[in-house]
Amino acid sequence: MRYYKKVLANGLRVITVPVKETKAVTVLIIFKVGSRQENRGWGGVSHFLEHLMFKGTKRRPSTLDISKALDEVGAEYNAFTTKDHTGYYIKINYERLDLALDMLSDMLQNSLFDPREIEREKGVIAEEINMYEDNPLMYVEDVFEQTVFGKDHPLGRLIIGSRASVKKLSRSQIIDYYARHYLAKRAVIVVAGPVKAEITKKVNRYFSKLKPGNIEKKLLSQKTKQPTLRINLIKKKTEQIQLCLGFPTLASSDPRRYALGLLTIILGGNMSSRLFISIRERQGLAYYIRADANFYEDNGTFLIQAGLDKSRLVQAIEAILKELEEVVKEPVTQAELRKAKEFIRGKTVLELEDSSNLAVWYGRQEALEGKIITPEERYNRIKKVTRSEINKIAKQIFRQSKLNIALIGPIGDISKIRGAVRGRL
């Protein structure tokens, strides 16, 4: 799939992804800033700032002025904050492209940061924190990454912050953070849909006033040190225990990530994976189980998540570790490897039929890595992965001393969990 890249005079990178087979266009802008860039005591400021961008501008003084203009044309719009980037997008009928560009540029360059809205939004975010903490299925992965990286590591911080840190944020801190990070040279804008490469001129008309700033310095690697097993338990009265079990892994630039990605699919990426068949279908230990891999600029994680009956927790952990031991001892089969490659290929085709997913595909790579691999190039790399490469990465990653276990539920004693792990891997 072809794409075009231009750089405006202020340093803003513009990626155009022409798609003829749709009438929907997505405009996405990504800034390379997230919770890992936050100063101590400023926890949650990236996420808070994302919320405030929808609270009014000089031309559109209220939230309603923004939402009404987009709702009237049936647009989809939202924003997201991660540990290493923040994104804002509008998906709209391509005939209304100018509205999307005008709205995003207005929000990102002319937001009011009204003191009354700031105080009101603190209450909204407190309720958002309550929502996450009351939903162990959503919360356990955050607890897991805190376990892997530690609460003092930038990647161990909660994106949303804490009630205390959010409450302390001042308007001057928020504006200062915005001024330091919302800069053209640290941003990428993607326009994906039935548009031509010449769209750059139109983008320039709306975003040329975004301050250039400086290109972010290369991130210093922040590796973690883990000499032994870590278990993190949050006691909560629930019927089911949420388990997240896994290991620190690879940076996003590591070529071994393709082998790890395939291993993740084979272990727990779909309903015919090893863990799904063994843990759910054959042993009935879980309704929900999955494997996933997250890649950051200098680190990564592999995780297995499951919702379990509290009386069968130890049995489930033993069964999961047994599956990991098997994949370390013996290479995956040729049939498993072939199916995993085809699964990724098919899944990618389906996902990239949507202009918003296309925008994320190209924008995230350009923003975080400064280079883009097309879907075709990615699949060609995946095709070359061998069984021995997958076995090698399994041996390197699945080690007991690097194991992390996060649990949310009614657990009183973790000694039996330690016993289940002892002698494994």
Q: What is the Cα–Cα distance from 332 to 339, expressed in whole angstroms?
A: 11
Sheet architecture: strand order including 404-409: 230-235, 404-409, 240-248, 300-309, 286-295
- Distance (Å, rounded) from C-alpha 55 to C-alpha 64? 8
* 161 Rama sector, left if φ>0, alpha if ψ -120 to 50, beta otherwise: left
- Cβ neighbour number for residue 237 with a 10 Å cutoff: 6
Residue 79: half-sphere exposure toward Cβ, Cα within 13 Å:
22
Q: Please, what's the largest Cα pairwise distance for the chain?
A: 65
Location of structure tokens 């290109």: 215
Q: Which of 104, 92, 40, 57 is nearest to 356 (CA)?
A: 92
Question: Rounded CA gap, 249 and 147, in Å?
Answer: 14
DSSP 57: B
3 state DSSP class of 359: helix
141 is annotated as an active-site residue: no
- E strand or H helix that includes residue 306: strand 300-309
> In Å, what is the CA distance from 56 to each residue of 61, 114, 187, 269?
4, 8, 22, 41
Tell me which residue of 327, 148, 309 sits closest to 243, measured CA to CA: 309
What is the edge-to-edge ordering of all strands in the sheet holding 13-18?
Answer: 4-7, 13-18, 187-193, 24-31, 86-93, 76-81
Q: Which of 38, 50, 141, 323 is catalytic?
A: 50
Element (DSSP H or E) covering residue 141 = helix 136-149
- What are residue 17's phi and psi, to 5 degrees? -120, 95
The size of the chain, in residues, is 425
Alpha carbon distance 283, 277 (integer Å) = 8
Task: Give catalytic residues, as residue numbers.
Answer: 50
